Amino acid sequence: MWIKWVTIHESYGLPRIAQECRRYLEMKGIRVRLLSRQTKKAGHVYTLQVPQTQQEQAKALLRHFKNTLK
């Protein structure tokens, strides 16, 4: 069975916020994968992806998590 992954967050530079978002979503029961790639201008880009079936729930949880950081 194939899983369609969708990107819900991208961050540049250090992976700290991407790791924290991943850890938070995993604690809430969302499957997450964190991809990284190197670019010439931005250094490193970290992409947080979730299965398409959990996209809306993950976006709501991520929005709540970011609001608690402010």
DSSP assignments along 3-69, one per residue:
--EEEEEEEESSSHHHHHHHHHHHHTT---EEEEEEETTTEEEEEEEEEGGGHHHHHHHHHHHHHHH
- The reported pLDDT for the residue numbered 15 is 87
pLDDT, position 10: 92
Q: What is the pLDDT of residue 40?
A: 84
pLDDT digits (tens, 9 = 90+) for 11-35: 988 889 899 999 999 999 999 999 9
CATH class of 5-69: alpha beta
**The residue to which tokens 């670019």 are assigned:** 39
Show me where the domains of the chain are located: 5-69
Reported pTM: 0.86
65 touches 21 (CB < 8 A): yes
Question: How many Å apart are CA 56 and CA 36, to the nearest integer?
Answer: 23
Q: At residue 70, does pLDDT exceed 80?
A: no
Mean pLDDT of 30-52: 92
| Residue 42, pLDDT above cutoff 80 | no
